[in-house]
Amino acid sequence: MSILSLSYQSYLADVNMWESWFDFIKSATTPATPAAVKATQNQAELWQIYLKGLQKLTQLWA
C-alpha cells in the first residue's frame, strides 16, 4: 500500500468517527417523544413568565 492510500484510509476513519459522534450527540440532545417536546415547551414558557415577573419587579424599584 502506498502512503497516499494509508492516509486516505485514515481520513475516512476520522470522517466515520466524527459522523458517528455527531449522530450520537444529536440523538442524545434531541427530544424523541412528544412528552419530552411538551416538557421543553413548558420550561420555556415557565422561564418567560418568570422573566416577565422579574421585569415588573425591577420596574417597581426604578
Q: What is the DSSP letter of 30?
A: S
pLDDT of the residue at 29? 74
Q: What is the pLDDT of residues 5-30, one digit of tens each?
A: 778 788 888 888 889 888 888 777 77
pLDDT of the residue at 7? 81
Is pLDDT above 70 for 55? yes
Q: Rounded CA gap, 4 and 30, in Å?
A: 38
Q: Rounded CA gap, 13 and 40, in Å?
A: 36
Residue 37's contacts (CB-CB under 8 Å, 6 or more residues apart) are 31
What b/e readout covers 32-61, taking b as 16+ CB neighbours within 10 angstroms? Answer: eeeeeeeeeeeeeeeeeeeeeeeeeeeeee
